[in-house]
Amino acid sequence: MKKGMIKVSDGFERIVHWCMAISCLILMITGLAMMFHSFNFLAIPVGGLKNLKLIHNFSGLVFIPSLLFAILVWWKEAGIFKFPEDLEWIMVAGGYLWHVDKVPETGKYNPGQKAFFWAVAFFGVVMSVTGLIMWFPLGFPVELVRWMYPLHALGFFVIFPFFFIHLYLGTVGVPGSVSAILTGWVTRSWAEKQCPKWLKEMEESGKLEISE
């Protein structure tokens, strides 16, 4: 590791992130295959839709605790919007859609990342609850169970685009971001650009971890 790297995530955060990310990706692919006939071919490698459904259901059992841990871990930093700085960032779209001379400083997570957190947190809970009721419908009114299917589909259509936008921005869209969730360490220049306010606060409090 290079000298002067800054620690932005610990081992537990990275484990939670990858468990949720991988299980979410599997859920979306398998769900897509079951939802649309044109994607049924995705079930061929695993021996058909019956096996695909089992993979989908048990991936959900990984996703649910990962989601709960993610909400607990990132709620304080990613779940609360702060004004006026977050509104100022939103007004210029963080400089992602057009040139901005100076992007308003944000904390560890910008409003775009906070929106992603809320989309996954809220609709992740919706999909978890509806998925469990669809899997174990006994004891629930038939009309209630029927409503679970469109709600589950709604969650998919919300999370699906957010997931791939997040994937793009976390890789080629914002160079240097991958190391934050692979190793937990980033360069100072990355931190100064992506989370300058957080960097200053951590330095002032003496809590910033820097590699030597």
Q: What is the mean pLDDT of residues 189-193?
A: 91
The span from the CA of 17 to the CA of 11, in Å, is: 10
Q: What is the pLDDT of residue 124?
A: 96
Amino acid 92 reads: V
CATH number of 6-205: 1.20.950.20
Looking at per-residue confidence, does 6 or 3 come out higher?
6
Residue 1 has pLDDT above 80, yes or no: no
pLDDT in tens, 41-89: 999 999 999 999 999 999 999 999 999 999 999 999 999 998 888 999 9
Cα dihedral 58, 59, 62, 67 sign: negative
pLDDT in tens, 98-113: 888 888 888 899 999 9
Q: What rounded mean pLDDT belongs to the chain?
A: 92
What is the pTM assigned to this prediction? Answer: 0.90
The packing angle between helices 142-168 and 11-35, to 10°, is: 120
CA-based nearest residue to 128, from 107, 159, 97, 85: 159
What residue ranges do the domains of the chain occupy?
6-205
As a whole-number percent, the residues of the chain with pLDDT over 90 amount to 77
Beta bridge partners of 7: 185
Q: Give the number of C-alpha atoms closer than 13 A to the C-alpha of residue 132, restricted to the C-beta side.
A: 9
